Structures are given as C-alpha cells and as structure tokens.
Structure 1
Amino acid sequence: MKHTPLRNALLLACGIVILFLIFWETYLRSTGIGISYDDGPELWTHKRSLVTKEQERATVFIGSSRNKYDLDIEIWRSLTGEDAIQLAFEGTSPMPVLDNLADDSLFKGKLVIDVTEMLLFSTNPEDSRLAKKGLDYYKNITPAQWFSFQVNKPLESKFVFLERDYFSIKALLKRIDIPTRAGMEKEPLFPIDFGRISFDRQNKMSDKFLKEISIQDSVKNIWSYYSRMGAKQPPPTQQSIDSIFQVIQKDVQKITARGGKVMFVRTPSSGIFLQIEQQIFPREHFWNRILSVTGAPGIHFMDYPEQQLICPEDSHLSPTDAITYTKSLVKVLETEKGWSFPNKTKSN
C-alpha cells in the first residue's frame, strides 16, 4: 500500500510519542518511583460501591489520611480473614461520609471512624471538599465513567507515568518553582515520596522518605504552613462544635439501630503535632465526649503502649509501624471490644 505524506506524518508522530513514553517511563522507574494509583473520586467510588455488597465480610474505614497510612490492609486481611474498605480522604473531615453511610438503609456492617480532631471538628468548607466531590461522583456516575475506570485500572497497574497527581501536564506545570510576590505565600506541595497509593487506597511512605530527614522536614514545614493558614480562619464556635456532636450522635444511632457496629479510633501522632492537638483539643472535652454522646466504644492510642509510635513527620506512621499498629488494633478489637472476625487472631 502506497503511503501518502499525511499517513507518513501520522506514523512518524505516533513513533515519536511512543518513544517519548518509553523514555519517560524508563526514566521514572530508574529514579526508584514505583506504581501508585490515582486516588480520585473514581477509585473512591469503586470502593464505596463495595460497602453493602461486602459488609458481611469487611470492615469500612472512614476519616482522614491517618487511617490511610496507619492501617496496613494486607496485615488486616491476614489477621481477620476479611477485607478492609478504605473510604478515608486526606485532609478531610469524615462527617460527609459518615452522613452518607448513616442514610444508607442497606449499610449495617462494621465501621471504624478515625478521629483527627482538627478535621472532624472543622467548620471550614475546604475540609469537606474532597469527601463531597467523591460522594457527588458516586451518586451521579455515568456508564461511560464506569467503563473508563475499568479500562484505566489495569493500565495504572503497569505504567508509572499515568499517575495523574504527579505526572500529568497539569501536575508538572504546578510543580514549576515560580517565585511568589513579596508578602505572598504559595501553597506547598507534598513530595512524591511521602505517599505512594495502592489500589486498596492505602498510603505508604517510600524508603527514600524514611531515610532522608530533609524530606521528612519538608512535610513538617507543610504542617506548619497549614497551621498558619488555619490560624487565620475564625475558630469554630461552641455552638458549631455542639452541632457536630449532635450529628455524630444521630448518625451513629442510625447505624447501630440497624445492627451495625461503630468504633472510634484515635490514631497515633507525635512530637509537636501531638502537643498542639492536646492543647487545642483536650481529650476530656472531645474524645471522651464523643464516646459519651454516642455510646459507641473507642480505642485511643495513648491507652496502649504498643500504639504509642513515633511518626516520621509527626502525623502518620511508617509502613513498618503501620503493621505494628494494625496488629494491636485487631487484638484490642477482639479481646477488649468484642468484635469477631473469620480468622482467630493470634497474639503478636
């Protein structure tokens, strides 16, 4: 078949694109970056769709990023014999997802709620944005969007460059270091080694992150930035805090009335982060009150020496410590809280 100039040009362009992608993928892998999934509303919707289907053999986890780092899902599965459906969002209050599960008359399974007080009791709309975006996608997903996810899922498991949050054109442009104007402060971006994400929506720090103190310090600086930004916001009023307690109470009662089980967990933090949390959110006024108004049980890491772990950047556990924490969590759930699982947990 005779090639036309246009056909030759198209073939050349395709060849250049393929060669570039091969080079780009090879380069990324040479830096030690592994596969990480896009943790957008698409993947969250997939996990949310499993809740009622799998509730007889799974526990649902909601909250913020500490649940995503601190729960080792593979260890959870091996110890309990059941799945863990991770519905937490980074930097986000669990309230929108808790409301959604409470209003789902089909949900009557086991639910673990991570209590990160500064997010749970936040009245800043930004601290609920990701959850509301995920819920909106879940409620309005189209057949085309579902099909796109099914196609993209196996591709993401093979190619590093498909990671949207770091290697899309938009993400690469966002990471260009452009000087800010005097008096302006640019929102910092998390280093790629801080959190690689599995298809189960579990976050793990990379080995590089755990070895290099400078990268850990960069994340601590991000916490400082958000602390400064938070200080500029009006603090929640006592009325708004009381309102949040009332909603939590109502939602928990809805779930337990259907036969569901709810467990609150206070996941570990350390260093200056923990000191600030203890000062702003004293345990007796927040954690204790949650358990009191809901009547639900809770597991606070400060009550268990094996859970009092040091977070590399003061707020999330390393992969190794996540295993330790998950083993302790399962043990306490079984031996103290009366939860039963398909597997008999052995003391570790």
Structure 2
Amino acid sequence: MSSKNLVRPALFMIVVVVAVIGSWEYYLRANGFILSYDDAAPQWAAQRAMVYNSPKQTTVFIGSSRIKYDLDIPTWEKLTGRSAVQLSIEGNSPVPVLLDLADDTAFHGKLVVDVTEPLFFSNMPEYSKEPTGNINYYRSETPAQKAGYYLNNLLESQFVFLDKRFLSLNAQLDKLPVPPRPGRQAFDVPMFPADFYKVSASRQTYMDDRFVQDTLLQHMVQNIWAGFLTMGAKAPPPPPNMVPEVLKAVATAVHKIKSRGGEVVFVRTPSSGMFWQVEQKAFPREKLWDVLLASTQCPGIHFMDYESTRHFVCPEWSHLQPRDARAYTKALISLLPPSFVQL
C-alpha cells in the first residue's frame, strides 16, 4: 500500500476525532458547564512542593472541604500579597497532613488548620486514606509524572470535557442504576451535583452560579448531608480513647513546627442549619475546640466568636457560596495574626 493511501485514512480519523471532541466541548459549554481541574494526587503534590516558599510570602492551609470552599484565594492574594498554599482534602482529616509537615524539618512556615469536628477528632482509617495516598505520591513522584501533571494542567485550563469527576466515562457509568444482586442489598453512593463542585488551578473548590441560584440542587446536597448525619447518629460511639489520642498527636506535631520557628493557628469555618445543630450537640466546644487550643497553646478563630463571621449561612449547611467566601476571607485576614497576612 502506498504512503498516500495510508495518509488519507489517518487524516480522516484525525478530522473525525477533532469534530467529535469539538462538538462535545461546544455542547457542554452551551449547557453551562465550566472548567474544573482534576483535584487528584498530582495537583495536591504540586501544592505540597510550595510549602518551602518564604514564610514571609506564603501561608499554608490544611483542613477538610470547608476551608477549600471558604478561602477565596484570589481575594486572599489581592489583599495580603501572599501566596495561599491549599493542602486541604474534602471528606478527610487534616491530621495526616499536619503530621507530615511536622516531620518535615525543612518546613517552618505559617500554617492555618481548619477544624471540622467529625473528621478532625476521628482516627478512623477511612478519613486518612486519601491524605496518606497524596503524601506517598508526593514523596515518590517521578519527573515523568510531574511532566504529565503540567501537561494535563495546561489542557484542563482549556477544555471543559476533561472534568474527570463528572464528565469522564467512569463518571457517566457511575450514574447508571445498578439493581441489587439476589440476596444482597445495594448501597448507592450519593452523587453530588456537578454544579456544587468546581476546582480551580490553585485547588480552591467552589459552587457555580447554577448551584447558588437553584434551591433544588441545594436541597439535594442537604439531603445527602442529612443521610450522613442520621447514619452517624445511629453508629456506635467512638472508643473513649479516640479523641485523647488525636489531641496528643496534634499537640506533638504542633510543638515540632513551633520549635523550628513555625506558627500554627486553628480556625473553625462556618456551618449552619442541621449541620450546625448536630455539631453543637455531638461535638461540644468546651470538650473539643477549647481543649485543642489549650493543649497546643495556639490561637484559634471560631466563626461564632466574631460579628464579621457568625452571620454567614451556608446554602447546603456546610460550605459558603463564592460571594460569601470572598467576604469570609476578608474577615479572616483581619482576624489572623499579622505574621500570617503581612509581607
């Protein structure tokens, strides 16, 4: 077969692929989908490498999903002139990341630790699996993996269809109803709406405009939280030594960071509705938050203590919408120690 006969089918296939991808991209954008980055281990590792920047120019944030939604990084960087390194991970405890930073003798920066009590004060393995995986990936990441991340990051900045969480083939298959097998009860993992979860290049998570404006979508997420809270209420009580073990590990880690000249501040970001009602009863402040600050000898910023932060209402009870995230970030800047927000 001549080279000319080989080239024509190849060119035809390229045209078909470009047309299909272009049509899919156009369809998604026309239906209101926006860019979102893959918030997996490679992106976390890229942020982890930034903790060695000058402590006078960088503040590091760890926690769960709330600080990822509530810290508006563009607002932070505009008002402080400092970089925000976002190492929080949704649905997980920040304690493994805290321990990793504590054991890293090269880290001596400014660290803000967000506390979501059900996750922070638990040492259940499922709340540490993803942070541990990200840490291991960072430590073993190869040059080829780093190059792959930067290439993928560049593509994600241009194409909506690369949203792996909601638009990949696996994501579409996960939406299909799976009937229970005979004799077995199926457990459906709750599916969050795509409009609730968008991720920026700097790992900030945010709700898009459709979610903010659509109370049905908000109620959908509220129902998911209500299911989790109900399941938690029915679960057996945690072992009596769980919280003391967590507090001891956290206090030791904080001491290591402070002994090297680093600084640590704990924050309690807003929640509302059923979430806040349950949290007040299940995780009383005087037994957890107050004890945490006393055992670590660190300052703490609780959202209920200040006029500038106690009025926020979370659309789905647990995270702030973008407009309120900008306002909360401004308030947080005014409440943090000067060394965390000034050049």
SS at match of 2:53: helix
Within the alignment, does 1:318 sit opposite 2:321 as a pair? yes
Look up the equivalent residue of 2:162 and give its one-letter code.
L
**What secondary structure, in the 3-state scheme, does the structure 1 residue paired with 2:85 have?**
strand
Question: Using the alignment, how far apart are the partners of 1:104 and 1:49 within structure 2?
Answer: 12
Q: Which of residues 273, 298, 301 is equivalent to 1:299?
A: 301
**Which residue of structure 1 aligns with residue 173 of structure 2?**
173
Are the structure 2 counterparts of residues 15 and 119 from structure 1 closer, same or farther at C-alpha, using a change threshold of 3 Å? same
Structure 1 runs (4+) deviating above 4 angstroms are 1-7, 179-183
- The answer on whether the counterparts of 1:55 and 1:107 sit within 8 Å (CA) in structure 2 is no
- Structure 1 unaligned runs (5+)? 344-348
The normalised TM-score by structure 1 is: 0.93
Shift of residue 174, structure 1, vs aligned partner = 1.0
Task: Tell me what 1:220 maps to.
Answer: 222
The residue that corresponds to 1:327 in the other structure is: 330
1:70-81 equivalences under 5 Å are 70-81=70-81
Instruction: Quote how far apart the aligned CAs of 1:128 are.
Output: 1.3
Q: Percent identity?
A: 45
CA change 1:174–1:192 in 2 (3 A) is same
Residues 254-281 of structure 1 show CA distances to partners (whole Å, capped at 9, x for unaligned) of 0011111100000000011000000000
**Cα separation, 2, equivalents of 1:140 and 1:196:** 28
Residue of structure 2 in register with 1:97 after alignment:
97
**Farther-moved stretch of structure 1 (226-235 vs 291-300):** 226-235
Deviation at residue 33 of structure 1 after TM alignment: 1.0
Structure 2: gaps (5+ residues): none
**How far apart are residue 52 of structure 1 and its match?**
0.8
Separation in 2, partners of 1:108, 1:329: 22
| Structure 2 Cα separation of the partners of residues 9 and 176 of structure 1 | 35
3-state DSSP of counterpart to 1:107:
coil
The whole-number CA distance in structure 1 between the counterparts of 2:238 and 2:117 is 12
Contact kept, 8 Å, 1:123 with 1:236, in 2: the verdict is: no
Alpha-carbon separation, structure 2, partners of 1:221 and 1:310? 17
Higher mean C-alpha deviation, range 6-15 or range 317-326: 6-15
CA offset digits 1:74-104 (Å, max 9, x no partner) = 1111111101100000001001100000001
Aligned residues: 340
Cα drift, residue 180 of structure 1? 4.7
Question: After the TM superposition, which residues 133-144 of structure 1 pair with which residues of structure 2 at under 5 Å, given as runs?
Answer: 133-144=133-144
1:280 paired with 2:282, answer yes
Task: Give the secondary-structure state (helix, strand or coil) at the position aligned to 1:39.
Answer: coil
In structure 1, C-alpha distance between the alignment counterparts of 2:223 and 2:72, rounded to whole Å: 26
Q: CA deviation at 1:12?
A: 2.8
Structure 1: distance between partners of 2:54 and 2:200: 19
The aligned counterpart of 1:346 is: none
Structure 2 length-normalised TM: 0.94
What does residue 145 of structure 1 align with?
Answer: 145
